[in-house]
Amino acid sequence: MIIAFDTKKLREICEDDAVAVKELGSPAAEALRQRLADLRAAESIRDLLVGNPRTSGAENATLTIDLTAAARTIWSQNHTTPPRTSLGDIDWERTGRVRLVEIAKA
């Protein structure tokens, strides 16, 4: 998958280990590194085996992937014309571009 970031701050957290540890703590920062590597290697969401990936919201437009029990990432698709199911929802199995929207801490 191709990964984009909603803000410069999110990009910085994802690209700088020291910033990630400062913002999220060591366990979540390490999990973030692993989830990003998993996403980059995946062809679609069905290839993600960890992080309890799940969709929600209108048109299943939000993808949530857990980092730890206290932190999770929130994603959206990042296609100009998103792939859709026959019901009109986002087809995450055919989505190859994602955008990190938020890193939520509990």
> What is the chain's alpha carbon radius of gyration, rounded to the nearest angstrom?
13
DSSP string, 57-85: SGGG-EEEEEEETTEEEEEEE--SS--B-
pTM attached to this predicted model? 0.93
How long a stretch of residues is the chain? 106
The per-residue pLDDT for 44 is 87
- pLDDT recorded at residue 106: 75
* Contacts of 60 by beta carbon, 8 Å cutoff, 6+ apart: 89, 90, 92
Q: How confident is the model over 26-80, as pLDDT tens digits?
A: 999 999 999 999 999 998 888 998 999 999 999 999 999 999 999 999 999 999 9
Q: Which residues contact 30 (CB under 8 A, 6 or more apart)?
A: none
Expressed as residue numbers, the domain containing 65 is: 2-105
- Confidence label for 24 from pLDDT (cuts 50, 70 and 90): very high
Quote the pLDDT of residue 3: 97
pLDDT of residue 66: 97
Beta strand 2-5 pairing with 97-105: parallel
**CATH code: domain of residue 59:** 3.30.2310.20
11 pLDDT band, cuts 50/70/90, is very high
How many structural domains does the chain have?
1
pLDDT value of position 45 = 87
Write out the two tokens for 97.
Answer: 């571009």
CA 87 to chain centre: 23
What is the predicted pLDDT for the residue at 96?
Answer: 94
